[in-house]
Amino acid sequence: MFPYWNTSGREDIRVRREILEGWFARFPDSAKKDLRQRFRSKNDAHHRAGFFELYVHELLLRCEFTAEAHPNLPGDTSTHPEFRVYKDGTPVFYIEATLSMSSASATAAKSRTNEVYDTLNRMESPNFFLAIEINGAPKSPIPGAKLRTLLGQWLSSLDPEKIAQQIETTGLDSVQPLEWQYGDWALVIRPIPKSPALRGRPGVRPVGVTMDGVKLVESYETIREAMKSKATWYGKPDLPLVVAVNVLSDFSRNIDVMEGLLGQETFVVGVGEDGNMVSRGMQRKKNGAWWGPKGPQCRNVSAALVTICLDPWRIQEITPELIHNPWAHAKLEPTIWLLPQLIPNNTTGQFNRQPGLSANDLFPSLRP
């Protein structure tokens, strides 16, 4: 991502580069070197973490706070949160920034799966598109040349007219596939005849249909783990601790955030006196960051500041939401926060939504 952002000649990207340079100029001098290294990284996870830290600092400034970077905490600790945050010169909370995203191993497996598609798209398949089903995930790079040779020999033995007639009569699943095993990873490929107009035409990529049989990590799981990992770093701090989380999943919703923090929603049923099934209402599993097997946990975290898929394109569109931990040891005073909040109601057991400023209010212009 960074090389593209750094070199693109597009006017809209140039404007955003200037915005981020302005943010960086306001960033604490003592932490600029470390931030610059991460922001300029060719590793997307490091780059996005650097951007999010830069964003959190700018957000604090626009919410009328000041921030001290990487402060020392009381007691014997070698870890330092991103910022100690001040309001009118008085320290009011710490904030730590993190990302909620797939693990490095899952990202690497997805990358290797994409390499499979890329290597197959480099082969010439004059008569067929390919319907590819992948089961599992390769743990090491696949021998692409060997796979292309095997697949090319197999496709050359097939008659596209006969295959087309079979698909029309009995469906694609009836076509005998090529099955290829690599460790505990399996590839199933079925041929789909090209139309007569496309047959023999060079440069037509053969991969047509893809189906990944890889288990998807649920968003709530990555949110939970991101929160728990930060909650264990700082012991019991002397100020409320806010963990800012940027959830990097296009499929995440607000319900995933709440399930990551409080546990999965489940509907409980039982058997009534007449023998019929009756609803016992909704409960949460004890598998959240804040609500675990033994009840409340991560109580040193006072609140979560959550954004979903925040990037430089969506600065004005995505408004962070502050979610207060009902069981926190140190409560964060809601009146100091200007953005929308979810505040626990001890009477109802629910959260009250408190409105606040929007992202567009804080970032009204794309001018730096």
Contacts of 98 (CB under 8 A, 6+ apart): 49, 52, 226, 227, 229, 230, 243, 244, 245, 246
Q: Which residue has the tokens 């954004």?
A: 307
- Stretch 61-74: mean pLDDT: 93
For residue 44, give both structure tokens: 């997307």
| Helix H or strand E encompassing 278 | strand 277-284
- Stretch 36-45: mean pLDDT: 92
Could you tell me what percent of the chain has a pLDDT over 90? 46
What pLDDT score does 88 carry?
Answer: 95
| Helix H or strand E encompassing 79 | none
What pLDDT score does 242 carry?
Answer: 97
Among 240, 309, 252, which residue's Cα sits nearest to residue 52?
309
Confidence band (pLDDT; 50, 70, 90) for 299?
Answer: very high
Q: What is the pTM of this model?
A: 0.69
Hey, which bits of 83-143 come out as E strands?
A: 83-87, 90-100, 128-135
Contacts of 178 (CB under 8 A, 6+ apart): 150, 151, 154, 188, 189, 190
Hey, which bits of 136-217 come out as E strands?
A: 178-182, 185-193, 207-212
Choose from 169-173, 203-207, 258-262 the range with maximum mean pLDDT.
258-262
* pLDDT (tens digit per residue) in 307-353: 999 999 899 999 999 999 999 999 999 999 999 999 999 888 899 99
H helices, E strands: number in the chain: 10, 16
**What span, in angstroms and rounded, lies between the C-alpha atoms of 294 and 27?**
41
Question: Among 164-168, 217-221, 230-234, 348-352, whose mean pLDDT is lowest?
Answer: 217-221
* pLDDT (tens digit per residue) in 114-125: 777 777 788 888
pLDDT for 184 beyond 80: no
Task: Give the bridge partners for 129, in sequence order.
Answer: 192
What pLDDT score does 210 carry?
Answer: 55
Position with higher pLDDT, 193 vs 274: 193
* pLDDT (tens digit per residue) in 210-226: 555 444 446 788 888 88
- Stretch 227-239: mean pLDDT: 84
What pLDDT score does 217 carry?
Answer: 46
Confidence band (pLDDT; 50, 70, 90) for 47?
Answer: very high
Rg for the chain (alpha carbons), in Å? Answer: 26
* pLDDT (tens digit per residue) in 353-365: 999 999 999 998 7
Position with higher pLDDT, 281 vs 51: 51
What pLDDT score does 199 carry?
Answer: 86
